[in-house]
Amino acid sequence: MSEVLMDPERRPVFRVPLANGHGIAVIYRNFVGDYGIDYLSTHPGRRRAQRFASWEGELAGDTLTWPELTRIADDTPSGTAQGLKDPAARLLLLLPLLYDHAPPAEATAVLTGALITAGAPQHTAPTTAQHLLAHSSAGPWHDPTWASPLSGSAGSVHATGSGLLTRLGII
């Protein structure tokens, strides 16, 4: 698989259709001197896809929280929509967008199951899942529920997501 993903003669594209007609396209750029992964949102009413994130050594653009990631992974369309419909494959393909400092306790089990479904050995999948989740939160963290004495904010009692689901038309 890595031979195809990294082949400079190819530009693999994976589609993640969503139940509402929107979708996500994941494009592997393999040009010499221009390697990266682009994440684009698609909509049947738009002529062009919009890039919302890219990966070129580090993630730039919009990110997902664990609840947002699993919602997209589970939002499989019925019918004839083309693209990845397996929730485990969808979760793993979009996992690089995860930026969550406090994924829920069940995240390790869900990710372990997705890895095993994709063919990872059962004896290494739990450790791999823990490692991936631990590295989904690099950098400083600000909890939106924290108050700020500098701004006078009392903080929000509800943690918010990234807003990406709204922009993708999922909610």
* CA pair distance 2, 6, nearest whole angstrom: 6
Does position 1 have pLDDT exceeding 60, yes or no?
yes
pLDDT digits (tens, 9 = 90+) for 19-49: 888 899 999 988 888 889 999 999 888 889 9
Q: What is the residue extent of each domain of the chain?
A: 2-167
pLDDT digits (tens, 9 = 90+) for 93-125: 999 999 877 889 899 999 999 999 999 999 999
| Sign (positive or negative) of CA dihedral 25, 9, 132, 137 | negative
| Sign (positive or negative) of CA dihedral 160, 57, 96, 122 | negative
pTM of the model: 0.81
